[in-house]
Structure 1
Amino acid sequence: MKHDPYTYITVAVEPEHDPRVSVSFRTADLHVSALVVSETRPHLFLETPQGLVSISTTGAGPVTAGDLSVAHELFQAAARYLADCERLHTPDHDQSKQADPGEKAA
């Protein structure tokens, strides 16, 4: 089965509910970066050519205890994602993508 990369974005607006935006990056063409603005506000960016997600402090203010808690959750989730990718990665998949379509991958 071929797994082409894509970015999936939805917006749900329902009466009597806050709008909800969902962004799914299903691509290795993802740029992740972090920076600090004015030495007071850290920012984390996840970006593809089709979309951007920016994470920063509450109300664009100084770092709160809640912001620090979220940063710890992000770190732990990213570490689990890395561990799962390393565990599930198969070099055969990378080689088959590079093989000529008319040839069988070894």
Structure 2
Amino acid sequence: MSEHKPYTYVTASIHEGVTRFDVSFCTSEMSAKAFGGDGERPFLTLSSTEAHMTVTTTGGGPVTEQDVTLAREIFTASARYLANCERLHAEQPVNPTDQTTPSGEVAA
């Protein structure tokens, strides 16, 4: 069994004058937080020791319909991510040398 070490991968590229940043958080050593309320604009942050990403309203201004749509997409994607993590975690052996899952089944 190979050992998977945590990492955060950040790249920046420029193509035809458009700058693109890609951030991959491949670590459980990070945090996800939401801020805002009482008339303040909302913020969603994902942070590790290597990188920090913030999502907030368009141009930092009033909440638009596109901002609401994006928030729904983030929520839906997060729910799918959670469901997949829970399913895969439940299917894993409790002990890597033992191929029995928490439900008593033999892991494939």
Task: Please tell me the TM-score bracket, short chain as reference.
Answer: 0.7 to 0.9
Tell me the equivalent position of 2:50: 50
Unaligned ranges ≥5, structure 2: 99-108
The structural deviation recorded for 1:40 is 3.0
- Where 2:25 maps in the other structure, the secondary structure is strand
Tell me the equivalent position of 2:6: 5
The 8 Å contact of residues 40 and 62 in structure 1, kept in 2 or not, is answered as no
TM-score, normalized by length of structure 1? Answer: 0.83
* 1:30 and 2:30 aligned: yes
Q: Which structure has greater helix proportion? A: 1
Distance in 2 separating the partners of 1:43 and 1:71: 10
The 4+ residue runs of structure 1 with deviation greater than 2 A are 37-40
Tell me the equivalent position of 1:70: 70
Distance in 1 separating the partners of 2:40 and 2:65: 14
Distance in 2 separating the partners of 1:60 and 1:20: 20
The 8 Å contact of residues 13 and 19 in structure 1, kept in 2 or not, is answered as yes
The structural deviation recorded for 1:62 is 1.1
Query: Deviations along 1:41-91, whole A, 9 cap, x unmatched?
Result: 100000000000000000000111000000000000000000000111145
Q: Percent identity?
A: 41
Report how many residues are paired.
96
Tell me the equivalent position of 2:82: 82
Distance in 2 separating the partners of 1:38 and 1:13: 38
TM-score, normalized by length of structure 2? Answer: 0.81
Tell me the equivalent position of 1:99: none
- Where 2:81 maps in the other structure, the secondary structure is helix
